[in-house]
Amino acid sequence: MSAELASPIQREFNPWLAAEARFDEAAERLGLDEGICKILRTPARELTVHIPVQLDDGRLEIFTGYRVQHSIARGPGKGGIRFAPDVTLDEVRALAAWMTWKCAVVNIPFGGAKGGVVCDPAVLSDGELERITRRYTAELVEFIGPESDVPAPDMNTNAQTMAWIMDTYSMHKRHTETAVVTGKPLDLGGSRGRPEATGRGCMIVTWEALRKLGINPSNTNVVIQGFGNVGGMAARLMSRAGMRIVAIIEYDGAIYNPHGLDVDAVARHRRETGSILDFPEAENMDRDEALLLECHVLLPAAKENVITSQNADKIRAQIICEGANGPTTALADKILEERGIFVIPDILANAGGVTVSYFEWVQDRQGFFWNAQLVNGRLEEIMVNAFRDVVGYAEKHKVNNRIAAYMLAMDRVAFAVKLRGIYA
């Protein structure tokens, strides 16, 4: 999409422009020089592939895939691969940049990358998905690797997808290379704690935010949007930690119980009926209305552009913990800031996933695996430190948490770029 020609709403929802808006503000506050800014804003490498894949009915279809390495200044590119019918290069670019900042916020030695394949997993068989994944990986063999760029799961991809990528890459290299991707099954070099890591990270930073605002976590109402890997895990872990999950919002509607939902029972109900709706111990609710419920914590853990200039003034949460990437638009940021809502920005809130990906990569390279206690303990240490770094930075520089997270991250990446110097 041409950013210049877009309507105001398209501009607000364009993920690349959203990332740019935050980047520009943080760069100005940091007083970054123009040359460094140019480097930090430009993706280092972008690859587009058009891959032929045979469908189950014998037809040949061409699928388009992307992989963008935004920065490798602090280490190999790192970031997920998403499968969705509406993936665009702009979106993958923005998400790759977000990964650079995310890895820098939690201070792990990676740059940022992201991939996507334009396809609709809902209408593809497992065999078709496997063939798409393998052919896409084959096109990327020279581009990815444990030392250069390490993919992971993202929207509509999972541990099985990673196993196919690992196998395809290894077949080309003629030896097994587990460290080429993270988020793999446990038996193929995956890490303990990886599936729940993003949700656990959300729980840890929410806990810190509650303490910071003087709210007792065991007397806390939480509204969660999205009941997938991130939202579902966060719901389970938060409710185990004593928080009350009063509403869960999915694409087909929401359920609400002011006394708290039994999260495991909701998961069972969805498995049996295919939907969270009509859960016996809750009332059904309109999903847009549920987003505006009064609560201590709102956790958007589904998709981009959920909190926008259209609804930010009506949100009644004290804390927003961004489990998803980019759930709040740049215009909404301003409104939330004016209203004093404490936002835990995505590049901090959902960094638990990539942090345990880092642990997985380390374990694969050492061939020595940690127990769950070690993984979770180290995750907690990193998330708590990053939370305190960001909030401390926000207070010191009198900016909101998101801009503080960007400033902190960009400062770290800029420092690496300067130390390395420019190769000519």
Sign of the C-alpha dihedral, residues 69, 71, 72, 75? negative
Rounded CA-CA distance 8/63 in Å is 30
What's the one-letter identity of residue 268?
R
Name, in order, each residue with C-beta under 8 angstroms of 219's C-beta and a sequence gap of 6 or more.
none
In the block, tokens 């009644």 appear at 316
> Does 178 interact with ligand GLU (rule: CB under 6 A)?
no
Per CB under 6 A, which region of 75-83, 141-149, 215-223, 331-339 contacts ligand GLU? 75-83
> Does 250 interact with ligand GLU (rule: CB under 6 A)?
no
Q: Which is nearer to ligand GLU, 69 or 220 (CB)?
A: 69
Rounded CA-CA distance 333/318 in Å is 14
Please identify which residue in 87, 204, 354, 386 interacts with ligand GLU, judged by CB under 6 A. Answer: 354
Please identify which residue in 14, 156, 329, 357 interacts with ligand GLU, judged by CB under 6 A. Answer: 357
Considering the complex, what minimum distance in angstroms separates the CB of residue 359 from ligand GLU? 10
Per CB under 6 A, which region of 4-12, 62-70, 346-354, 363-371 contacts ligand GLU? 346-354
> Does 87 interact with ligand GLU (rule: CB under 6 A)?
no
Considering the complex, what minimum distance in angstroms separates the CB of residue 80 from ligand GLU? 3
Check if 114 is active-site: yes
Please identify which residue in 65, 75, 76, 80 interacts with ligand GLU, judged by CB under 6 A. Answer: 80
> Does 71 interact with ligand GLU (rule: CB under 6 A)?
no
Q: Are 148 and 173 in contact (CB under 8 A)?
A: no
> Does 69 interact with ligand GLU (rule: CB under 6 A)?
no
Q: Which is nearer to ligand GLU, 9 or 372 (CB)?
A: 372
Hey, how many other C-beta atoms are within 10 angstroms of the C-beta on 288?
13
* Overall residue count recorded for the chain in this entry: 424
Sign of the C-alpha dihedral, residues 121, 124, 125, 131? negative
Q: Which is nearer to ligand GLU, 239 or 325 (CB)?
A: 325
Rounded CA-CA distance 350/336 in Å is 19
Total binding residues for ligand GLU by CB under 6 A? Answer: 12
What's the one-letter identity of residue 133?
T
Please identify which residue in 11, 22, 74, 78 interacts with ligand GLU, judged by CB under 6 A. Answer: 78
Q: Whole-angstrom distance between the N-terminal and C-terminal Cα of the chain?
A: 33
Rounded CA-CA distance 363/182 in Å is 10
Catalytic positions, written as ranges? 114
> Interface with ligand GLU by CB under 6 A: which residues?
78-80, 152, 154, 182-183, 325, 350, 353-354, 357
